[in-house]
Structure 1
Amino acid sequence: MAIAHGVTTDREIEFRLLGPLEVRDRGRRLAVGGPRQRAVLAALLLRADRVATVDYLARAVWGRPPASMRANLRTYIAALRRVLGDPGDGRRIVTQPDGYRLLVRHDECDVARFEYWRVSGDRAERTGDTERAARCYDCALSVWRGGLLDGLPAVGPALRAEADRWEERRLAVLERSVEARLLLGAHEDVFDVLYGVVAEHPLRERFWGQLMRGLYASGRRAEALETYRRARRFLVSELGVEPGEDLQGIQQMILDGTLIGDAF
Structure 2
Amino acid sequence: MSVVMNTSDPTPPNRPEDEAAAGAQNDSRRVTVMIVEDDDGTREAVARWIEATEDFQLLGHFADPRAALKRIIKEQPDVVLADVNMPGLSGIELVGRAKPACPETQFVMLTIYGDTDHIFQALTAGASGYLLKSTLREELTAAVREVMHGGSPMTSDVARKVVQSFHPQEQPAQQEYTLSDREKTVLDRLAMGFLYKEIAAELGVSVTTVSTYVRRIYVKLQVRSRAQAVAKVMIKK
Q: TM-score, normalised by structure 2?
A: 0.32
Q: TM-score, normalised by structure 1?
A: 0.30
Query: Computing the radius of gyration over CA atoms, which structure comes out larger, 1 or 2?
Result: 1
